[in-house]
Amino acid sequence: MHFAPVENKETQMGREIYIRFMAPVVPETTDQLFQHVDNAIRNKYERIHLLLSSPGGSVFHGLSIYNFLKGVPTEVLTYNFGTVDSIGIVIFCAGSRRFSVPHARFLIHGVRFNIAGNASFDDKQIEEHLKSLRIDQENIARVIADTTGKPLHKIEEDMNNRTTLNPNQAKDYGLVHEIRSELLPIDAEFVVIRELVQRPPQQVIQVTAPLVQAYTHSIQMDIGTL
């Protein structure tokens, strides 16, 4: 008599990992996230749950995270468990299913770049920076438009108007599939990403994207990093 091999529960159910990302999007946190995702792929995890609460940060790193997560051979689900702002919205859009807790916030706004206070640029360098800013703005708008099904011009308008959404509004907007309080099971395999390096405040010049198209721009002094 032949007996079929009995698969253990883990094999039947598939392996899943929960990653809590409560940090700005900076090189250090991006590297940590990539390491955890790489490990999940190597170990043939079936699903990655990315729990997000982020003020945003680097456009370069945020778009890289989005493109990477959309291309991995593992299902990715994203959750807003607090605040998802700025480029954090783009990372959130990487989820094939997207969730939010009932008391959360989403903020969609335009791109800016920070310049050290003593930096100097000629006309060509300024034009190059503005072109890069405009491309970043367009890429972000396309990601959100593709995710929500809204027209590109509507997303660009909302970015320029600094649109804030609560979870119900985000669901109507097309960002969120489901609102729920539960984030993970009690026996979840769980890792944490945090910013390890404290960045000292520095004086910057902030150039905002909404004025790029008119080729006039508002420059103001600000204290901060990203």
| Tokens encoding 196 | 């390890």
Task: Specify the pLDDT at position 202.
Answer: 39
Given 53, 58, 86, 100, the catalytic residue: 86
CA–CA distances in Å: residue 224 to residues 23, 100, 113, 169, 217: 15, 28, 11, 30, 19
8 CB burial (10 A radius; 0-12, 13-18, 19+)? exposed
Query: Tens digits of per-residue pLDDT, 133-169?
Result: 889 999 999 999 999 999 999 999 999 999 999 999 9
Task: Specify the pLDDT at position 132.
Answer: 78
Task: Specify the pLDDT at position 220.
Answer: 33
* Alpha carbon distance, N-terminus to C-terminus of the chain: 67
The amino acid at 184: L
Handedness of CA 193, 197, 200, 203 (dihedral sign): negative
Domains of the chain: 9-224 (3.90.226.10)
Q: Which pLDDT tens digits describe the chain residue by residue (226 residues)?
A: 443 443 433 443 579 999 999 999 999 999 999 999 999 999 999 999 999 999 999 999 999 999 999 999 999 999 999 999 999 999 999 999 999 999 999 999 988 666 655 666 667 767 776 787 889 999 999 999 999 999 999 999 999 999 999 999 999 999 999 999 999 999 999 999 988 755 544 333 344 444 444 433 333 323 233 3
CA atoms within 13 A on the CB side of 52: 35
Helical axes 152-160 vs 123-148, angle rounded to 10°: 120
Please confirm, yes or no, whether 109 is among the known catalytic residues. Answer: yes
Handedness of CA 207, 62, 77, 19 (dihedral sign): negative
CA–CA distances in Å: residue 115 to residues 18, 134, 138, 222: 36, 16, 21, 10
CA angle 100, 9, 183 (to 5 degrees): 10
Identify the three-state secondary structure at position 31. helix
Given 109, 120, 132, 218, the catalytic residue: 109
Task: Specify the pLDDT at position 204.
Answer: 36
Please confirm, yes or no, whether 181 is among the known catalytic residues. Answer: no
Task: Specify the pLDDT at position 30.
Answer: 97
CB 118, CB 89: distance < 8 Å: no
Task: Specify the pLDDT at position 194.
Answer: 87
Task: Specify the pLDDT at position 124.
Answer: 75
Task: Specify the pLDDT at position 133.
Answer: 83
Task: Specify the pLDDT at position 195.
Answer: 81
